[in-house]
Amino acid sequence: MAAPLELRDRLLAVLRAADTTFFAEDWRRLRPAPALEDHAREVRRHLSARPPADVLAELLPTAARVGPGERVRLDKLQIDEVQVAPRPLVIVPSARVWPHLTVKHEHPSCVVVQYAARGTAPDGQLTPRDLHHRLMALTSPARMELCRHMLGEPITTSELAARLGSSESQVSRALRTLRDAGLVRSTRDGKLVRHRLATDVIRRLGLDVLATVAR
């Protein structure tokens, strides 16, 4: 430690080399995935408008807000309560940690939470949060009506709006909710984008409920 700046530079060089050698290709494949970048943007949007304890309680299926202040109760390998404010909160969505949750809050500088981002469960398995998200997307009568019109044929946003007597912006918001839950698939056909109900996903919901509860 006689030359800390030199040590830092050497350590950073080793980490950069390790990143290039071991992780660059993996990150190249994972980074464009909606499960990470789109999910991170959504979380940032929520954090800018709501208390962090509320956001964590929604993100993590085993988390719940407790008592006054920004405290969250986490059920991981052991039960723990974490004060998530006013300390900085670092939230790390991952495609590699499912179904584990890692929380580090021993150091006073910050709280770090690493968790499986929505849609990253392996082999098509749903996390409890994924299943909740999927079921909640179907609780709206308006979205259910939208699903009925996408059942038989691919259809555009403007055609859906005309059939339902709604604005295209309203239909787009409903479609985004259904698509984020994996219930709608959208494909581009020239200048048009057509939407179709993911009937195979809807058909599996009953088995998914049973498998998620039994796991």
The b-or-e profile of 52-75 (16+ CB within 10 A means b, else e) is bbebbbebbbebebeeeebebbbe
The DSSP line for 74-94 is EESSSEEEEE-SSS-EEEEEE
The structure tokens 């009506």 sit at: 145
Which carries the bigger pLDDT value, residue 67 or residue 170?
Answer: 170
What does the pLDDT look like over 92-121, one tens digit per residue? Answer: 888 777 667 788 888 888 999 888 776 565
Query: What distance in Å separates the CA atoms of residue 49 and residue 70, rounded to the nearest whole number?
Result: 15
Would you place residue 171 in the very low, low, confident or very high pLDDT band (cuts 50, 70, 90)? very high
Query: What distance in Å separates the CA atoms of residue 10 and residue 129, rounded to the nearest whole number?
Result: 42
Pick the closest to residue 212 from 146, 152, 130 (CA basis).
130
pLDDT at 159 exceeding the cut of 90:
yes
Query: What is the pTM assigned to this prediction?
Result: 0.47
- The 3-state secondary structure of 16-78 reads HHHHHHHHHHHHHHHCCCCCCHHHHHHHHHHHHHCCHHHHHHHHCCCEEECCCCCEEEEECCC
What does the pLDDT look like over 46-81, one tens digit per residue? Answer: 999 999 988 888 887 678 888 778 888 876 655 678
The structure tokens 């339902």 sit at: 164
Other C-beta atoms closer than 10 Å to the C-beta of 76 total: 14
Other C-beta atoms closer than 10 Å to the C-beta of 145 total: 14
Query: What distance in Å separates the CA atoms of residue 82 and residue 84, rounded to the nearest whole number?
Result: 6
Please count the helices (runs of H) and the strands (runs of E) in the chain: 9, 9
Query: What distance in Å separates the CA atoms of residue 203 and residue 8, rounded to the nearest whole number?
Result: 55
